[in-house]
């Protein structure tokens, strides 16, 4: 406020659309176009490859499809294993997301709005979780899950995923919940809403940007997860898409076109999901990375 | 206003006393006074209900496995039955004298440095570009983030098919008359690690851009506006105002990138696999761990490797915290950066 006031009171110099600024925005578009080209070329290779035949790929590996062959995609979509894997991935991602958001929101609420002894220690424990990446824990985690009898089941993947997503979730959500003014809580209390009532009626709505951010990150993380399913899931029937894609690739190693079709199809859901919420992700992180 | 100012004040105090718990351990904002005096027991029950579930899941599946790794690391153990063959530090001696592990470690170190060098400037440039008002801004962003969003398996399979010796890249080079440049991108030991770096950069630069964009949005428009009015050019504003203010965000990203690089597994495992990674010179500590632990049936040894990776990451994180993050009171964020 203090900074904005004098600036606002000064008459702003009218900005001319000069030749220079037009040129610089042209440069911006050009650079953006080049970047998009570089980022999409490998993806385009995968998708276009799915429309080619194997002989085309062998003769000219970098060419465009001659006759667009939809049959590769058709074959993949007609196979039961693809849909089983889509279902498994969906169940795992949805369960992970729902529980991470629920548990993370509850814990973040307790940590940001209750004064109690050991509060800082509990928070430090969660943040220390960032230092315990899955890679380090995977071997004993596998044994733990095996002892619980959860290998080859999605629960064996979902529960550890929840645990490993909690630190980030809590770190992103705490500032959102802490920023809710006390006056609001007092007003709610006067209207007869207890702290838990306040949580369900108000907090959920007010922290929605943060919730969406962590929810998307958890969903995409689960959808793309490789290491944990690789250890936990051994039977084809319980494979998630990444494992299924890899299994398909080694099983049909000679059928490159079909592998590329399978791969293209497996990346569609995450892409749709991300493009729907891209703006929300950046917005939700702004609170978390400010200096 | 007074309340707000007071809160910032106590926040600074809290930040000052924050112990270096996690890598970029953020400060915990203080709690305002509770709205009503209440008896203690209902409050405790509420707290238990709120924090309990998350704490139990977290401790059981994150902390406990790491503690178990430290325990099993002292045994020679096939993973079945009780671990009884106590071998003391023998696993650790074997790890630290195994040339294959030391080689993997050197690859990790190289990847840590090169990821910072390659991705940092690139991501800053992209973020500055995307932060300008462009038409189709949202579409441009989504398209640039595509590699970050698709899974490592898709990335790995796509790139490995594209880069194999009779793949699309060599075919393309042949077509444009640069056939002499064609090489075996994946298995030639002098090329493979650079191939890996290209794939890593391509895959993870989007994550850095997302963080940087979030950081850029935190810079008030008034500041850059004022500088523009005082006659600073676009580049001067970026160089002398925006970049310094981006310091905390960049340092957090660098931290996450370093940790990610030390833990790198998926891409190497998918593109090169257990055996080729060793001969092509792209093995990492994590691929060494899985190859010599679980896949060799030596769970005790695998756990010991995990402990070594953890300790290396921890030392790096603490040093980073001590010497670089110290200045920032910033809150952190993460998500699979390599």
pLDDT tens per residue, range A263-275: 999 888 878 877 7
Q: How far is A162 from chain B (nearest CA, A)?
A: 8
Q: How many CB atoms lie within 10 A of CB B15?
A: 16
Angle at B258 between CA B257 and CA B261, to 5 degrees: 85
- Name the residue in chain A with its Cα closest to that of B152: A224
**Angle at the Cα of A76 (from A41 to A272), degrees rounded to 5?**
50
Predicted ipTM beyond 0.90 = no
Which of B10, B35, B245 is most worth mutating to test chain A (most A CB atoms within 10 A of its CB)? B35
Tokens of B76: 């020679």
> Which residues of chain A make contact with B222, given a CB cutoff of 8 A?
3-4, 7
User: Taking Cα atoms as reference points, which of B330, B336, B338 lies closest to residue B24?
Assistant: B330
Nearest CA in chain B to A140: B65
- Predicted pLDDT of residue B116: 94
Closest by CA to A180, choosing from A131, A113, A123, A118, is A113
- Which domains, from first to last, does chain A contain? 19-72 (no CATH), 74-289 (1.10.3720.10)
Select from A35, A196, A227 the Cβ nearest to the Cβ of B266.
Answer: A227
- Reply yes or no on whether the pLDDT at B8 is more than 90: no
What does the alpha-carbon distance between residue B105 and residue A6 come to, in Å, rounded to a whole number?
Answer: 56
Q: Of A105-109, A188-192, A277-281, which range is least confident?
A: A277-281
CATH number of B74-327: 1.10.3720.10
Task: Name the minimum distance, in Å, from the CA of B238 to any CA of chain A.
Answer: 15
Shortest CA distance to B122 belongs to which of B259, B258, B224, B253? Answer: B253
Q: What is the pLDDT of residues B109-145, one digit of tens each?
A: 999 999 999 999 999 998 888 888 777 877 888 888 8
DSSP-derived secondary structure for B165-210: TTSHHHHHHHHTT-GGG---TTT-HHHHHHHHHHHHHHHHHHHHHH
- Average pLDDT of chain B is 80
Which residues sit opposite B75 in a β-bridge?
B86
| Phi, psi for residue B263 in degrees, rounded to 5 | -100, 5
Specify the pTM: 0.82
Give pLDDT tens digits for B162-197. Answer: 888 788 888 888 788 777 777 888 888 888 899 999
What are the angstrom distances between the C-alpha of B269 and each of A122, A140, A216, B191, B276? 35, 20, 26, 17, 9
Nearest to A239 by CA among A83, A138, A88: A88
SS3 B75: strand
Which of A178, A182, A167, A176 is CA-nearest to residue A123? A167
Q: C-alpha A128: how far from its chain's center?
A: 21
Q: Which of B153, B225, B238, B332 to mutate to test the interface with A (most CBs of A within 10 A)?
A: B153
- Whole-number Å distance between alpha carbons of A172 and A177: 10
| Residue B257 near residue B237, CB atoms below 8 Å | no
Which phi and psi (to 5°) does residue B75 adopt?
Answer: -120, 155
Distances (CA, A) of B169 to A22, A45, A58, A147, B185: 36, 10, 13, 47, 9
CB B27 within 8 A of CB B14: yes
């Amino acid at each position: 406020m203090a900074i904005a006031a004098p600036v606002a009171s000064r008459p702003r110099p009218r900005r001319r659309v000069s030749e220079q600024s037009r040129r610089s925005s042209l440069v911006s578009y050009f650079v953006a176009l080049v970047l998009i080209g570089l980022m999409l070329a490998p993806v385009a290779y995968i998708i276009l490859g799915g429309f080619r035949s194997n002989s085309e790929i062998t003769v000219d590996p970098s060419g465009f499809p001659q006759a667009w062959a939809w049959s590769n995609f058709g074959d993949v979509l007609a196979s039961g294993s693809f849909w089983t894997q889509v279902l498994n991935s969906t169940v795992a991602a949805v369960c992970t997301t729902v529980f991470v958001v629920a548990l993370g929101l509850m814990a973040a609420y307790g940590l940001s709005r209750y004064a109690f002894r050991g509060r800082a220690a509990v928070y430090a424990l969660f943040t220390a979780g960032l230092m315990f990446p899955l890679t380090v824990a995977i071997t004993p985690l596998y044994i733990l899950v095996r002892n619980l009898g959860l290998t080859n089941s999605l629960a064996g993947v979902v529960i550890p995923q929840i645990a490993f997503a909690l630190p980030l979730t809590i770190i992103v959500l705490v500032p959102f919940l802490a920023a809710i003014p006390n006056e609001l809580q007092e007003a709610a209390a006067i209207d007869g809403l207890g702290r838990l009532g306040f949580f369900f009626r108000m907090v959920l709505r007010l922290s929605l940007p943060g919730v969406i951010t962590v929810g998307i990150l958890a969903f995409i993380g689960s959808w793309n997860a490789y290491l944990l399913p690789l250890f936990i899931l051994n039977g084809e029937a319980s494979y998630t898409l990444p494992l299924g894609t890899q299994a398909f690739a080694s099983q049909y190693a000679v059928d490159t076109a079909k592998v590329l079709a399978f791969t293209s199809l497996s990346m569609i859901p995450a892409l749709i999901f991300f493009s729907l919420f891209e703006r929300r992700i950046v917005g939700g992180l702004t609170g978390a990375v400010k200096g | 206003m007074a309340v707000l100012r007071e809160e910032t004040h106590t926040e600074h105090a809290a930040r000052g006393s924050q112990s270096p718990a996690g890598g970029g351990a953020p400060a915990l904002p203080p709690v305002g006074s509770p709205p009503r005096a209440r008896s203690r027991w209902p409050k405790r029950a509420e707290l238990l209900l709120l924090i309990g579930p998350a704490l139990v899941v977290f401790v059981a599946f994150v902390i406990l496995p790491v503690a178990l790794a430290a325990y099993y690391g002292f045994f020679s153990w096939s993973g079945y039955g009780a671990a009884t063959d106590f071998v003391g530090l023998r696993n650790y001696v074997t790890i630290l004298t195994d040339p294959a592990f030391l080689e993997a470690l050197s690859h990790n170190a190289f990847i840590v440095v090169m990821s910072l060098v390659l991705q940092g400037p690139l991501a800053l440039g992209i973020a500055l570009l995307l932060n300008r008002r462009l038409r189709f801004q949202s579409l441009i962003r989504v398209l640039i983030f595509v590699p970050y969003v698709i899974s490592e398996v898709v990335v790995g399979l796509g790139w490995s098919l594209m880069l194999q010796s009779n793949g699309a890249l060599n075919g393309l080079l042949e077509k444009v008359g640069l056939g002499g440049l064609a090489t075996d991108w994946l298995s030639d030991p002098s090329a493979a690690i650079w191939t890996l770096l290209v794939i890593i950069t391509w895959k993870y630069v989007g994550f850095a851009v997302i963080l940087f964009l979030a950081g850029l949005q935190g810079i008030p428009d008034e500041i850059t506006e004022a500088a523009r009015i005082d006659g600073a050019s676009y580049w001067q504003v970026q160089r002398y105002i925006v970049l310094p203010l981006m310091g905390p965000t960049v340092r957090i990203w660098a931290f996450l990138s370093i940790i990610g690089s030390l833990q790198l597994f998926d891409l190497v495992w998918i593109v090169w696999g257990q055996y080729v990674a060793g001969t092509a010179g792209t093995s990492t500590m994590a691929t060494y761990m899985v190859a010599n632990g679980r896949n060799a049936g030596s769970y005790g040894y695998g756990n010991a490797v995990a402990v070594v990776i953890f300790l290396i990451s921890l030392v790096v994180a603490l040093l980073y915290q001590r010497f670089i993050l110290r200045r920032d009171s910033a809150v952190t964020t993460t998500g699979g950066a390599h």
